Structure 1
Amino acid sequence: MDNLPSPAPRCGLSSPVTRRAVLGGVASAGAVAGLSACADPSTVAASSTPVSPAPGGEGTVAATTAELPVGSSKSVKIGKRTYLLFRPAETTVLAYRAVCTHAGCEVSVGEGEFVCHCHGSHFTRESGEVTAGPARGPLEKFPAEISGEDVLVYL
């Protein structure tokens, strides 16, 4: 065996490419790809936070002003989806999709905030931002307004 010639260098490399080197490179590339999938979601959420579109088209009546007094919140069903409403002032209403940004569970109205009972995330009524995790991103916001006695949400 000592009389066997050594493998010739390939691709302009000064030393031969061994099977061990190739397998090590493949394993390293897989590890980098795997770790990049585990990136901190808060950095992703911060750069992809949805911006509320301006009201346009026809709004959907979600409630009446009598059902949503100033300072109150309400969960409403529109079609097959659930939305959360908050009326901070006489002429202002905010609307959010009632889906937790952590694992997609339904979020409900809590005492002065919105709560996901699956894993304990809490969200502000004023902005939909997370106040307690594991959720890292805000609730999806929708344009809404008060028109006469109706609370309209633009989907």
Structure 2
Amino acid sequence: MDNLSSPARPCGFPNAVTRSAVTRRAVLGGVTAVGAVAGLSACVDPSTVEASSTPATPAASGEGTVAATAAELAVGSSLSVKIGERTYLLFRPAEASVLAYRAVCTHAGCEVSVGEGEFVCHCHGSHFTRETGDVTAGPARGPLEKFRAEISGEDVLVYL
């Protein structure tokens, strides 16, 4: 019998193998590759995150909590305030509006502080915009948690 008609070599290919030879090394290599891809996905450039990842500001409900006075938060400035046990970041983009965010980094839960024209997490270098809370740099992948806020008379109110 010649090699082309041998039952151990199907389809007329002399080097074909009839049964699957899955080795332990092949399985471990596949698992390692999947783990590497999953690990590297955590290093995605935040600028590639879609704009739709920015959560909508929740509707105001209940009574607002006084976080600061309007005089303490000039137009174009930011302020870090403590309300109860938690820290919040305020930004006043215009005379009649204010934005509020929880000062907790979405990467590892470190406290975020007011930086030069942005909010910064000093633990791992994440940066967030004051206008939207979106990530602009660093390992954080999600925006800061938003809260409804407003200026009422001389007070800056945050609805928690």
| Same-fold call, TM cutoff 0.5 | yes
Q: Which amino acid in structure 2 is aligned with residue 86 of structure 1?
A: F
Q: Specify whether residues 79 and 37 from structure 1 end up closer, same or farther in structure 2 by C-alpha distance, changes over 3 A only.
A: farther
Deviation above 4 Å: which 4+ runs of structure 1?
26-42, 45-49
Query: Which ranges in structure 2 are unaligned for 5 or more consecutive residues?
Result: 1-17
Q: Specify whether residues 124 and 48 from structure 1 end up closer, same or farther in structure 2 by C-alpha distance, changes over 3 A only.
A: closer
Indicate which of 70, 74, 87 corresponds to 2:75: 70
TM-score (norm 1): 0.72
Quote the Cα distance in structure 2 between the aligned partners of 1:151 and 1:75.
12
Query: Which ranges in structure 1 are unaligned for 5 or more consecutive residues?
Result: 1-14
TM-score (norm 2): 0.70
Identity of aligned residues (%): 74
Quote the Cα distance in structure 2 between the aligned partners of 1:111 and 1:48.
24
Residue deviations 1:66-104 (CA, integer Å, cap 9, x gap): 111111100000111100000010000000010111111
Aligned counterpart, 1:128: 133
Indicate which of 61, 64, 67 corresponds to 1:59: 64
Q: Counting helix residues as a fraction of each chain, which structure ranks higher?
A: 2
**Within the alignment, does 1:80 sit opposite 2:85 as a pair?**
yes
Give the count of matched residue pairs: 140
